[in-house]
Structure 1
Amino acid sequence: MSTESTEERILAALEEDAQASYAAIAERADVSKPTVRKYIDQLESDGVIVGYSADVDPKKLSGQSIAMVGIDVASEQYVEATRTLQELDSVQALYSSSGDHMLMAEVRAADGDALGDVISDEVLAIDGVTAAHPSFLQERLK
C-alpha cells in the first residue's frame, strides 16, 4: 500500500477524474466504496472539495484569446481594485501572488485585439491598478 494517506489517495483519484465512480476511486485508492463515500462527504463538508468541474480548453471550443496578466496595484487601493477586477466578466480567475506581481488574472476575450482592449480599457482603468503585464497563452499543453 502507498505511503500516502487514504485522503490523499482519494483526492488524487478525484483530481485525475472528477467524474470517476465511487467504485473506480475505491479501486485506485485501495479502499472500500463506503470509505470513499465517507471521505468525500467529509471533504465536501469541510470545504476541502469545493466543487467539481470540467477542464475545458476554451481556445479549442470558441477560439477565444487568453492571457495571464500580472497586475500591480497601489497598496492603499488593493481591496477596492481587487473587488473591481472580480466583477469584470472578462476576468475568469483572479489570484493573489507572491511573485513579480501582486495579482494574476486569467483574462479572456474574442481575439487578441479584444484582449488588448480589455487590458487597456478595463483593467488599467481601475483606480489603483498601476500596471498590467500580459502573457498571451498560445496552446494548452496539459
Structure 2
Amino acid sequence: MGYLQFCLGSTLSTQRLCMSNYRLDDLDRRILTELAKNARLSNTELAELVPLSHSAISRRVSRLESEGAILGYGAHIDPAALGITIQAFVGVRRDPSASPEELSRGLRAIPQVARCWIVSGEHDYFLEVRAKDMEHFSDVILKQVQKVPGVLATVSTFVLADLQTEQAPTRALATGKLDK
C-alpha cells in the first residue's frame, strides 16, 4: 500500500494521521490566537478578549478540543531538567511490503519518540527522539526503533544546539503574522 492509499484509507483515524482539515471561523481563530499567547486564560478572561459570552467561549473551546484543533495544554519543560540531554532526528525507511498503519503505530508506541511524521523524500518517516545520553539513544534505536516490523533502515541526525524552541505556527499566530 502506498502513502496516498494509506492517507486516503477508509478509517477516520488513518486519515487524521495524514492531514487535518478544520473549518474555523474568525472567532475560532481569535480564540486560538489568544490561547497561543497564553494557554492559562480562563473562559471568562477569553470572553473579555473575544466578543462572545462565557458560555459561548466554553462551547467553542470544547469543540476545538474535541475536533483536535487544540491538542492539549501543558508546561514547556526544558528536557535537560529531566536529565534528557540527547535530541536527534531519525529518518526511517519503510519496507515496501510493510503496513504503513502498523509501522506508524509501532513507532509512535516508543516512549522516547517525541514526534513522528510521514514525510516525502529519502525517508518515509521522520522521528524526533529524546534520550538521557548516547548509550540510552543507542538502545532506543537498536532495541526498539529497528525492531519495529517494517523498519528497513534508519539514519540519525543529532541536534547540536536548539536555537528556537517555540513552534513557528503558534508563534506566528500569537504575533498576528501567520498570513504575512
TM bin (shorter chain): 0.7 to 0.9
1:5 Cα deviation from its structure 2 partner:
0.4
Which residue number in structure 2 is paired with residue 141 of structure 1?
Answer: 164
Give the letter aligned to residue 111 of structure 2: D
1:64 to 85, 93, 96: 85
Could you tell me how far 1:131 is from its partner in structure 2?
1.9
Q: Distance in 2 between matches of 1:99 and 1:26?
A: 45
Which residue identity is paired with 2:125?
L
Aligned to 1:11: 32
Q: Is the 8 A contact 1:57 1:140 kept in 2?
A: no
Asked if 1:130 corresponds to 2:138, the answer is no
> CA offsets per residue over residues 6-62 of structure 1, 9 Å max, x none?
100101111232221223323443444333223112223434334323222212442
Equivalent residues, number: 139
Uncovered stretches (5+) of structure 2, i.e. residues with no partner: 1-24, 166-180
For the 8 Å contact 1:81–1:127, the answer to whether it is kept is yes
What is residue 107 of structure 1 aligned with on the other side?
Answer: 129
Is the alpha carbon distance of 1:30 and 1:59 closer, same or farther for their aligned partners in structure 2, counting shifts above 3 Å? Answer: farther
Q: Where does structure 1 lack aligned partners over 5 or more consecutive residues?
A: none
- Corresponding residue for residue 112 of structure 2: 90
The answer to which of 60-69 and 70-79 deviates more is 60-69
Whole-angstrom CA distance in 2 between matches of 1:140 and 1:19: 25
TM-score (norm 2): 0.63
CA apart distance, 1:140: 5.4
TM (norm. structure 1) is 0.77
1:119 aligns with 2:113: no
Corresponding residue of 2:96: 75
Q: Does the 8 Å contact 1:94/1:104 carry over to 2? A: yes
Matched, 1:21 2:31: no
Q: Distance in 2 between matches of 1:45 and 1:83?
A: 21
